[in-house]
Amino acid sequence: MSERKTDQAFWRRPAIADETEAHQIEDVRQQHLLLDPRYPLDSDRDVLDPMYRSSKRYWFFFALFAGLVLMMFTTWTVQMWLGLGITGLKRPTMWALYIVNFVYFIGIGHAGTFISAALRVLKVEWRRPISRAAELVTVFGLMTAALFPLIHLGRTWKFYWLIPYPNERQLWPSFHSPLLWDLTAITTYLSCSILFAYISLLPDLAMARDHTSGWRHILYSVLALGWRGTEREWSNHETALNIFSYAIIPVMFSVHTIVSWDFAMAIQPGWHSTIFGPYFVVGALFSGAGAVIIALTIIRKAMRLQYFLRTEHLEGMAKLMLLLSFAWDYFYFNDVLVPWYGQAPVEKSLFALFASGRVAPLFYLMIFANAIVPVTLVFKRVRTSIVGLFIVSLFIQIGMYIERFLIVPVGLGQNEIPFAWGVYVPYLPESLISIGAFGLVIFLFFLISRFFPLIPSWEVYEGQVLQGLRRIGRAILPTRAEPD
C-alpha cells in the first residue's frame, strides 16, 4: 500500500457539525461498510486473527467434518472394491445421486464467479467483502463436483481414458460425447477459478506475509510472489482481474450449459429439452447464491467478521436471489409447459408422477422451496434478518437438490419402454458419500480459514478509499471516486 498523508487518510472520520448529522453519519456508516472505514491494521487484525486462534469448538467441528470426509473416501474405496452394486443404482436409473451431487456442486460453483467477476464487471460495490468467500465456494464446489464423475464411474481406475493423452494405440476420447465437453469445461472452469481466486488473493497474501513470522511467513512469502504493492503491481493486478473477470463469465455460462447438455443431448424424455442450457445456468446461480449466503452467515458468526459482513451485503445477495428465483420460476414453467402441451406419453406419465405420484411430496417441496419461500425476500425484514436469510437459503439448497433429483433418477425412471421403468432409492453407500461431499466442502472451508484470509481486505480498502461521505446542503451523501 502506498504511503498516504495521515491527515487525509481514508480512515479518518470527518468533522461533525451537529448531533443530527452525527446520527446521520453514524447511521450511514453502520449500514455501509465502505463508508465506515477504519484503521487498516485493525481490519488486518480482524481478518488474520481467526487464522491463528482455533477454539475448541473449531477443532470439534473440524474433527466432525474431517470424519465425514474420511467416511466419504472409505465408502468410495469399499464401493470400488465390491462394485457399484452396493448402491441403489439399477436399470434404468443408471445415473442417480452421484450425478445429482455433481450437478448440484457445479451449480454451487457458479455463485463465486458471478459475484466476484460479474458484479466486478458491473461495478457493484457491495460485493467487495464477500467476493473471497464466493470464490472459495466456487473452487470447493467445483473440486467436490469433479470427484463425482469419478465416484460414479464403473471402473474409476480407468478414468484417464477420458483424457486425450497421447498413447501408442492412438486411442482418443470421443469428442462427440457431452461427457467429454463436460470434462473440458470443468477443467477449464476449475483452473480459471483457482487462478482468479489466487490473483485476487495476492495482495492479501502479501499483507499476511507482512504480519506473520515463522512457517507462515515463509509460506506467504512464497505464495505472494514478491508482491510489494507498487503502483505498477496494482495496475497490473487490476488489469489481470479485469481480463479474468471478462473471460471467466462466458466460461461460467458455458459450464453449466454443458452440464445441462449431458441431459439435453440425450433422447430421454424429460431430458431432451432445448431450454435446459439457460435453465440450468439460472438454477446454478440460484443455488450458488444461496450457498454463498449460508457460507457468509456462518463465517461471519464463527470468525467474528461482523465488521466486514454486514446486512447490506446479505441484503444485496438476497435481492439477487429473489431475482434468480423469479428467473427459475420462469424457466421451470417453460420446461413444464412445452412438454405438457406436447402430451407425449412418457412426459405425461412423468407429470402425473410429479403431480400425484410417488414423488409428489418431493415435487411440492421443491416448488415450495424454490418458488414460494424466496418470495418472502420481497420483505425488507426478511432480507435484513440473518436468520431469515439463512433459512431461505437453506430451503433453496433443498429445493435445488430435489430439482436435480427429480431430473436425474426420477426422470430416468420413466422412459419409452414401460417394461424397463424403475424406482430409484438411494442406498447407504451413496447417501454416505453425498453427506460426505457436503462435509468435504465445509471441511475445505475449515481448512482454508486457517491459511488464507476469507475477507479480501485489499478490496475493502480500495472501496473505502474510493468512497466517502459528502455533505450537500443538509444531506449527507456517499460519493465515489473512479480510479484512473
Residues that bind another protein (CB under 8 A): 82-85, 88-92, 94-95, 149, 152-155, 158-159, 161-162, 171, 173-174, 176-180, 183, 262, 265-268, 345, 349, 358, 412, 414-425, 427-428
CB nearer another protein, residue 412 or residue 444: 412
Minimum Å distance from CB 80 to another protein? 9
Asked whether 339 and 273 are in contact (CB, 8 A), the reply is yes
CB nearer another protein, residue 75 or residue 138: 75
Query: Residue 466: helix, strand or coil by DSSP?
Result: helix
3-state secondary structure 260-301: HHHHHCCCCCCCCCCCHHHHHHHHHHHHHHHHHHHHHHHHHH
Query: What share of residues in the chain are helix, strand, coil (percent, to 5)?
Result: 75, 0, 25
Tally Cβ neighbours within 10 Å of residue 105.
27
Written as one string, the DSSP assignment of 378-443 is: GSHHHHH-HHHHHHHHHHHHHHHHHHHHIIIIIHHHS-S-GGG-------HHHHHHHHHHHHHHHH
For residue 17, which amino acid is it? Answer: A
Can you say whether the dihedral through the CA atoms of 463, 322, 438, 150 is positive or negative? negative
What contacts 188, CB < 8 A, 6 or more positions away? 251, 255
CB nearer another protein, residue 119 or residue 151: 151
CB nearer another protein, residue 326 or residue 421: 421
Minimum Å distance from CB 102 to another protein? 12
Minimum Å distance from CB 347 to another protein? 12
For residue 471, the 8-state DSSP code is E
CB nearer another protein, residue 52 or residue 419: 419
Helices (H), 32-118: 40-52, 56-82, 97-113
Minimum Å distance from CB 85 to another protein? 3
CB nearer another protein, residue 316 or residue 411: 411
Cα dihedral value 297, 303, 307, 310, nearest 10: 0
Tally Cβ neighbours within 10 Å of residue 213.
8
Minimum Å distance from CB 380 to another protein? 41
Minimum Å distance from CB 415 to another protein? 6
Which of 316, 308, 386, 306 lies closest to 33, judged by CA?
308
CB nearer another protein, residue 171 or residue 337: 171
Minimum Å distance from CB 439 to another protein? 21
CB nearer another protein, residue 155 or residue 232: 155
Minimum Å distance from CB 337 to another protein? 22
State how far the Cα of 231 lies from the Cα of 238, in Å rounded to an integer.
10
State how far the Cα of 309 lies from the Cα of 432, in Å rounded to an integer.
33
Minimum Å distance from CB 157 to another protein? 9
CB nearer another protein, residue 190 or residue 359: 359
Minimum Å distance from CB 169 to another protein? 10
CB nearer another protein, residue 266 or residue 371: 266
